[in-house]
């Protein structure tokens, strides 16, 4: 039976570290980190995410600025808001909640955010920095996963890691982070042949597919570390990961639950990025 990697507990540790970093920063520079969250439209899930991010900021002492714009906001208007936030001394981090309405080009918006305030780590500058192994601000979900792996003391050197999913926000940056820790990384996607066989050989499995129970318990190698990024709503309205938890937990050495696994880590790493951005701003001042 595997041990659970408790995302809530590790996220609480990260938040405690952040709190003391903020006190230190305030003491040294008088600066209070600030995060601007921009929401366009009224998608109910996005509203919940934005509200939770605001609450999480307040808890650790980050100022939160919420900008809610109507769904028919034009791209130019959104870009003008971002330009203002880029120039604001009170704002160290800018997060534009995705997805955006279809008449707005997401890539244009992502590139409009100053790379020094890009706390999502999605700007091509930050993607490039991560790729060459000199990260500045890194995407929150894979950073959270790395922190979870660190917490169990597993050395990734020479390990076979299989990442299922190749999105720009999870799969690709995840693979790069594992690679930089000297794992041998395989990335699987919808065109990959025989994913089961690839997962069977993995010491570390990262599931970021978006399909409940996609990774079967019997695919997991004995003693593997299994990290489930997926958040799926089942027909019964329950949250489920991408991994068949029961079967996988009989084989894995460590496994993350859903909920209570990677999810809480993502927000914690967003707060951490905001503090990092504030530190950069204070050094540049």
- Nearest CA among 65, 120, 113 for reference residue 86: 113
CB of 96 to ligand NDP, least distance (A): 15
Query: What span, in angstroms and rounded, lies between the C-alpha atoms of 63 and 282?
Result: 16
Residue 13 — φ and ψ, nearest 5°?
Answer: -65, -45
Binding to ligand NDP, residues 210-229 (CB under 6 A): 210-211, 229
State yes or no: residue 46 binds ligand NDP (CB under 6 A).
no
Select the residue interacting with ligand NDP from 81, 109, 185, 208 (CB under 6 A).
Answer: 208
Terminus-to-terminus CA distance in the chain, angstroms?
Answer: 52
Indicate which residues carry an active-site annotation: 53, 97, 120
Residue nearer to ligand NDP on the CB measure, 91 or 195: 195
Q: How many CA atoms lie within 13 A of 95 on its CB side?
A: 28
Strand 225-228, strand 254-255: pairing? parallel
| Those residues with Cβ within 8 angstroms of residue 45's Cβ, 6 or more apart along the chain or in another chain | none
Binding pattern for the stretch 155-194 against ligand NDP, x by CB under 6 A and - elsewhere: ---------xxxx-xxx----------------xxxxx--
Beta bridge partners of 215: 243
- Please tell me the distance from the alpha carbon of residue 55 to that of residue 44, in angstroms, as a whole number: 17
User: Which lies closer to ligand NDP via its Cβ, residue 202 or residue 209?
Assistant: 209
- Told to check if 256 binds ligand NDP by CB under 6 A, we report no
Cβ proximity to ligand NDP: between 79 and 231 the closer is: 231
266 lines the binding site for ligand NDP (CB under 6 A): yes
| Pairing mode, strands 63-69 and 34-40 | parallel
Q: Which of 93, 115, 135, 230 binds ligand NDP (CB under 6 A)?
A: 230
Q: Rule CB under 6 A: is residue 259 a binding residue for ligand NDP?
A: no
CB of 32 to ligand NDP, least distance (A): 26
**Widest pairwise Cα distance in the chain:** 55
User: Shortest gap between Cβ of 234 and ligand NDP (angstroms)?
Assistant: 12
Euclidean distance between CA atoms 164 and 248, whole angstroms: 15
* Residues near ligand NDP, by CB under 6 A: 141, 164-167, 169-171, 188-192, 195, 208-211, 229-232, 262-263, 266
């Amino acid at each position: 039976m595997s041990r659970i990697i408790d995302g809530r507990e590790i996220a609480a540790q990260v938040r405690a570290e952040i709190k003391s970093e903020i006190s230190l920063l305030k003491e040294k520079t008088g600066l209070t980190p600030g995060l601007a969250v921009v929401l366009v439209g009224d998608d109910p899930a996005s509203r919940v995410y934005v509200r939770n991010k605001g609450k999480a900021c307040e808890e650790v002492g980050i100022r939160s600025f919420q900008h809610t714009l109507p769904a028919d906001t034009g791209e130019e208007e959104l870009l003008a808001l971002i330009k203002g936030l880029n120039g604001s001394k009170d704002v160290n981090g800018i997060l534009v909640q995705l997805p955006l309405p279809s008449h707005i080009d997401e890539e244009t918006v992502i590139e409009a955010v100053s790379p020094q305030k890009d706390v999502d780590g999605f700007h091509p500058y930050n993607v490039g920095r991560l790729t060459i192994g000199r990260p500045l601000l890194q995407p929150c979900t894979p950073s959270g996963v790395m922190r979870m792996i660190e917490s169990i003391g597993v050395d990734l050197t020479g390990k076979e890691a299989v990442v299922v999913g190749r999105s720009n926000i999870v799969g690709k940056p995840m693979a790069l982070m594992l690679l930089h820790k000297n794992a041998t990384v395989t990335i699987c996607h919808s065109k990959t042949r025989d994913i089961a066989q690839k997962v069977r050989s993995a010491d570390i499995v990262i599931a970021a597919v978006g399909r409940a129970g996609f990774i079967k318990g019997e695919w997991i190698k004995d003693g593997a570390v299994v990290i489930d990024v997926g958040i799926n709503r089942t027909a019964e309205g329950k949250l489920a990961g991408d991994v068949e938890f029961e079967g996988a937990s009989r084989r894995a050495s460590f496994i993350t639950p859903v909920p209570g696994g990677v999810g809480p880590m993502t927000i914690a790493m967003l707060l951490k990025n905001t503090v990092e951005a504030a530190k950069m701003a204070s050094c540049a001042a």
